[in-house]
Amino acid sequence: MQYCAYCGNAVDAVSYAPCPRCGNPSNGAPRPTANANTKGTNTALIVVIVVVGGLLVVAVIGIVAAIAIPNFLTAKQRATQKRTMADIRSLSTAIEAYSTDKNEYPKGSTAADVAGALSPTYIKTVPAVDGWGHALQYTCLKDATTPESDKCAGYAIGSAGKDLRFEHDSLLETVAAGDRPTTNFDCDIVYSNGKFVEYPEGVQH
């Protein structure tokens, strides 16, 4: 009778065959170890999978950002336009109320200039700047039939838009050009005598 060199279990013959009890070679040979090449192959495969997965994640994030960021910026500019138009309407309502009481419109060249005449009686706080932080322009329109009179028979309020540059030398030129819808955030927004004469319409860019 022969016995396993590792655990002493009785075996038919001592050899390199694994012992039924402990699984080691019954002749006392070194225990089998994992193949180093196989281990290296598995490690390389894991690294490749991790790198490829990381690249895919980066690619997906890039695609989402390329779509989302322009849409976000456009929506932000659109909201700025809407805010500017709302402020201009609020200012015009106060100016109209002032005109009803005084029988003329206030004088000035910016919204800040007419704040003293309008606030707090006709409006609590006069919006002095547009959504882009640029001063709202104001123009008193004289009566064409009585050019010698200093009385204001009309008015115009304007924002220069995103680029902060007015397209004409004065709001009078914009009013004279007639109603005009625009499709660019850089275009002026102009309101005169109860209506917008230059205003955003449709898709903006």
Task: Give CA–CA dist 103/100, Å, rounded.
Answer: 6
Task: Give CA–CA dist 59/65, Å, rounded.
Answer: 10
List, in sequence order, the alpha helices (H) in 107-147: 115-118
Query: Given this model, what pLDDT does residue 35 score?
Result: 54
How confident is residue 16, by pLDDT bands cut at 50, 70 and 90?
A: confident
Query: Given this model, what pLDDT does residue 41 score?
Result: 67
Q: What pTM, to 2 d.p., does this model score?
A: 0.71
> Tell me, what DSSP letter sits at residue 144?
T
Inform me whether the pLDDT recorded for 39 exceeds 70: no
Considering the chain, what is the average pLDDT of its residues?
Answer: 89
Inform me whether the pLDDT recorded for 134 exceeds 70: yes
Q: What is the mean pLDDT of residues 182-191?
A: 96
Q: Residues spanned by CATH 3.30.700 within the chain?
A: 81-200
Q: What is the mean pLDDT of residues 85-111?
A: 95
Q: What is the mean pLDDT of residues 60-87?
A: 94
Residue 3 falls in which region: left (phi positive, over 0), alpha (psi -120 to 50) or beta? beta
How confident is residue 122, by pLDDT bands cut at 50, 70 and 90?
A: very high
SS3 for 85?
A: helix
- CB neighbour list of residue 70: distance below 8 Å, 6 or more residues apart: none
SS3 for 31?
A: coil
Tens digit of pLDDT for each residue in 138-174? 999 987 677 677 889 999 999 999 999 999 999 999 9
2: β partners: 11
The verdict on whether omega for the bond into residue 127 sits within 30 degrees of 0, i.e. cis, is no
Task: Give CA–CA dist 189/92, Å, rounded.
Answer: 13
Specify the CATH number for 81-200; select among 2.40.50, 3.30.700, 3.40.50, 2.60.40. 3.30.700
Query: Given this model, what pLDDT does residue 37 score?
Result: 53
Task: Give CA–CA dist 128/123, Å, rounded.
Answer: 12
Inform me whether the pLDDT recorded for 40 exceeds 70: no
Question: Tokens 């790198």 appear where?
Answer: 51
